[in-house]
Structure 1
Amino acid sequence: MALSKETSVEGALPLILATLIRIIAKFLCQAVQMEVRDDLESASDSSSEVGVEGDDNDDDPFIDTPQNADESVPCSEGDKEPEESQLALKGNLADAIKDAVRRLKDSSLDCLIGSYSTIPHHNMRNIIPTITRHSETLRMELKTKREAELLAALHISEQTNQIYQQRMIELQATNILNKAYCKALHEQLAFQEAKKSRKGKGRLMGDGLPVLLTSDFFYEQMGKEERKKALTVWKEKVAKRQKIMDAWQAEWEREKQEYVAAKLKWASDKKKDKVKG
């Protein structure tokens, strides 16, 4: 079974995302999509208002002017109801926030959204420990040169571990950005694939989906495909035959040259025999 569009164009990260990174990345993607949708709706509303103000509808009897409008309908701003799109946008944003909060409650960062101010000890996840494992060894009194060399090597090892831990945090932050980038890239690739499929030239039935055969269109397309395949096979046969003919022509030329050389040698030998006789 062929892969679907979701799995064929979705960007894959080199590392497996942690649960917290997935929660934050998903919330950021939803927030960005809602913000873009809100900007598009506000832009369309502003353009429609400009178009209404620019038209000259004073003489049109079908436009609700103050003379033609119903006086019983209230026109105050307080009586206006909010638009459905704004309510839906607020609802979607609230649902996204609730989902992120619910997922954070199930993780080790529930202290960030709780009502208590102190961080519980059992929920703390210390990524970079403040006290190293070799703290007592690092403060020991040196007695020999060998101990000084070992202590210097231990200091270098501790610094290297701190650098690796800091790099790990940077990679986790990069994974959040990579997740958002892969989401945007997935949508762009899906749009490009849908745009190419509308041309109907690269596939038999245009978009490649199963359709009900109610006309001769399918059989015409099959005829075109079969003719293309037959033409390709014929070209391959012609190329093979041409190679065979070239080899035969070269062999014939070689045999002709050998025959001419043998004939000339026979004529020269015959002339010598006549001179001797």
Structure 2
Amino acid sequence: MNLPLSTHPVPVLEMRRDSLADLRLRFTEPLDDGTRHWWQQAEDQMAAQPDAQTVARLSSQYKRGPGRQVPGNSAWTHAQLAHVLLLAQALEYQAEDQRLALLRQVFLWGDDQEKIALLRALDWLDSHGAALDLALQAGRTNNSQVFAAIALDNPYPARHYDERAFYQLILKALGMGLDVRRTEGLPRRRGHPLNQLALDLLEEQLAAERTVSAGLVQVIAFALLSPPQLQRLVELDRQQRLPADWHDQLPLNP
């Protein structure tokens, strides 16, 4: 039987080359002569064989060898920077319809630190959201550090997640004890649906006598609460069941 050919276009990764060029500069500037020589050889090897195996091999070599000679910084380790830059170079050499497959393979093979690096750089590697499924899959992890790489200080979810996926991201971040104030795009996503989800979580935590998630108050758009929702919060406040930082958000005369 002859199956019809798919008419759906293959998603294409479009990289933010200016951001990656800046990242490369931040990486190469502090290298000593020996590490710089290793890096030049690594770039030559990547140009000769730009595939997932080469990315994995060179990333591993960097962590075991020259990477130890270079101090890290507060935002990235140099091993993470190396991994992202090697991957970006490999993607540059791919045909457009092969880039997404390479990105997925590198993520699949990566250790936790390499997954963290890729997710943190995902907006630079994929400016149009072609790798959305990979980001959503990564968000199912129970590793809080890997999850934080996509959930915090990362513009990718704000740019590409629909409302349902974004709300799930916020609720999971709260459940993991992460600071959702660092979730980009949260102020624009606040509204009636997220209010209800946040209040449901509040009621659940209070009923179970659990500590209320520290960032839960940041999720609620208090000005958009319905009268019954607001009255319920006022009652909880009068019962002294709300954390202190909730009190300041409530109107004096609801």
- What band does the TM-score fall into relative to the shorter chain? under 0.3
| TM-score relative to the length of structure 1 | 0.19
Higher gyration radius (CA): 1
| TM-score relative to the length of structure 2 | 0.20
